[in-house]
């Protein structure tokens, strides 16, 4: 009996872990490459890893002790929300590790956070400029703290089953995700013209916040799937509108091409750079056709999330993979990327939903067949 329970869960988890393992291998290559291209004094590296090690020892020790104490009550979980926990627990750890890249302590502040904060509304800008000022005074400590929080959230999602502690971790995920969405992603571009899924709208951190909301205990897989459907519908509809607005210039000869071509400037293997450059030249040759296709695909995806979740998830995963490679350059290659951008988590959510909905459909079909057989048998007896 236990073997029958484990097999379906294992098949799904093996697929998800294979994807995440591939991403982890990519991270290792990125960090090795960054070590060659960015110089950080050894003293700073030492303090960064020392602070991180001490912080993780403090935050993870109680989590691991509680998880070990609860091991006797551990049971194999299946279903959509369990897959999401595995995916986003791993992604939070990935993000935390990326925060420890050699160039992050100094370059991330000047190249990412400061420009983002400068573009925020005047009403909230002074508050976040204060954070920028403090970060500039203690860059190593802030960088280590960011890594500690993200890795702690990830490990907590993977190991914790107690409701109270899980709720605390999910609340931390929502708070931290919101801070990152504002401070690191500038509200995902929602307040600026031209916000597009191609360039990362609505921001990966907002996806993490939505995921934390659906992982709270006592929520069912079906309710979680409905929330995801509403979220996806809104994202792709808004993105289609922004993509189609003439004022955002996506119909011009260079707008789409520059989105893809700009990614080629990242430090990365030469074959990837050449592939993206070739694609950007294709966009330059026929921008009207390409943008029309993109707008149409976003509108179709948005409509599908209302009509058929499974088909919508399949199409979303396919389109997101294409966008993640050619427009978002895998999100984490080179530069100051600390997460894999929006398309990857959206793609993984969609894959998890496909895996969840297929067994559900099979169970429904099997149940209907049993009911028909029962009616037939009853009719024969009569």
Q: Can you spell out the DSSP letters for 116-149?
A: HHHTS-TTTHHHHHHHHHHHHHSHHHHHHHHHHH
pLDDT for the residue 24: 59
Exposed, middle or buried, 179 (CB in 10 Å: 0-12/13-18/19+)? middle
pLDDT for the residue 14: 59
In a domain, 46, yes or no: yes
In a domain, 198, yes or no: yes
In a domain, 118, yes or no: yes
In a domain, 369, yes or no: no
In a domain, 381, yes or no: no
Tokens encoding 351: 């894959």
Q: What is the pLDDT along the chain (382 residues), one digit of tens a residue?
A: 334 444 444 554 555 556 556 655 655 555 555 555 556 677 777 888 889 899 999 999 999 888 888 766 655 567 899 999 999 998 998 888 888 876 777 777 777 788 888 777 777 778 778 888 888 888 889 889 999 999 999 999 988 888 999 999 999 999 999 999 988 888 887 776 678 899 899 999 999 999 999 999 989 999 999 999 999 999 999 999 999 998 888 998 788 888 887 777 776 667 778 888 888 888 888 889 999 999 999 999 999 999 999 999 999 999 999 999 888 888 765 556 677 889 999 999 999 999 988 765 565 555 455 455 545 544 544 4
Question: By residue range, what is the domain housing residue 272?
Answer: 2-364
- Do residues 338 and 95 make contact, with C-beta atoms less than 8 angstroms apart? yes
pLDDT for the residue 221: 93
Counting the structural domains of the chain, the total is 1
- Do residues 82 and 353 make contact, with C-beta atoms less than 8 angstroms apart? no
Residues 6+ away with beta carbon under 8 Å from 284 = 253, 254, 256, 257
In a domain, 375, yes or no: no
d(CA 330, CA 334): 10
Please name which of 108, 92, 114 lies closest in space to residue 48, comparing C-alpha atoms: 108
pLDDT for the residue 378: 46
pLDDT for the residue 11: 52
In a domain, 374, yes or no: no
- Do residues 180 and 109 make contact, with C-beta atoms less than 8 angstroms apart? no
In a domain, 370, yes or no: no
For Cα atoms 58, 171, 77, give the angle at the middle one, nearest 5 degrees.
85
């Amino acid at each position: 009996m236990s073997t029958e329970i484990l097999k379906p869960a294992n098949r799904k988890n093996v697929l998800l872990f294979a994807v995440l393992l591939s991403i982890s291998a990519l991270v290792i290559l990125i960090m090795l490459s960054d070590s060659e291209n960015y110089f950080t004094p050894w003293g700073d590296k030492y303090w960064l890893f020392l602070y991180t090690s001490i912080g993780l020892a403090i935050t993870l020790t109680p989590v691991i002790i509680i998880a070990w104490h609860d091991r006797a009550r551990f049971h194999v979980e299946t279903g959509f929300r369990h897959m999401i926990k595995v995916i986003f627990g791993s992604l939070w750890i990935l993000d935390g590790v990326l925060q420890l890249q050699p160039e992050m302590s100094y370059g991330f502040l000047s190249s990412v956070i400061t420009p983002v904060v400068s573009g925020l509304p005047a009403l909230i800008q002074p508050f976040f400029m204060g954070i920028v000022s403090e970060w500039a005074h203690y860059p190593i400590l802030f960088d280590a703290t960011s890594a500690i929080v993200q890795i702690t959230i990830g490990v907590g999602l993977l190991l914790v089953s107690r409701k109270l502690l899980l709720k605390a971790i999910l609340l931390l995920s929502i708070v931290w995700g919101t801070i990152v969405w504002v401070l690191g992603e500038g509200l995902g571009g929602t307040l600026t013209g031209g916000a597009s899924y191609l360039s990362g709208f609505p921001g990966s951190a907002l996806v993490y916040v939505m995921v934390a909301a659906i992982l709270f205990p006592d929520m069912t897989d079906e309710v979680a799937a409905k929330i995801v459907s509403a979220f996806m519908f809104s994202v792709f509809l808004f993105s289609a509108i922004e993509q189609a607005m003439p004022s955002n210039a996506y119909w011009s000869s260079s707008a789409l091409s520059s989105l893809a071509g700009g990614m080629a400037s990242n430090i990365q293997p030469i074959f990837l750079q050449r592939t993206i450059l070739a694609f950007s030249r294709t966009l330059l040759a026929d921008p009207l056709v390409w943008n029309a296709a993109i707008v149409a695909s976003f509108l179709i995806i948005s409509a599908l999330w209302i009509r058929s979740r499974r088909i919508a998830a399949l199409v979303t995963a396919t389109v997101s993979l294409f966008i993640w490679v050619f427009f978002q350059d895998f999100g984490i290659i080179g530069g100051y990327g600390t997460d894999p951008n929006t398309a990857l988590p959206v793609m993984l959510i969609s894959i998890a939903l496909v895996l969840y909905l297929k067994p559900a459909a099979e169970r429904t079909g099997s149940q209907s067949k049993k009911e028909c057989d029962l009616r037939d048998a009853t009719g024969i007896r009569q």
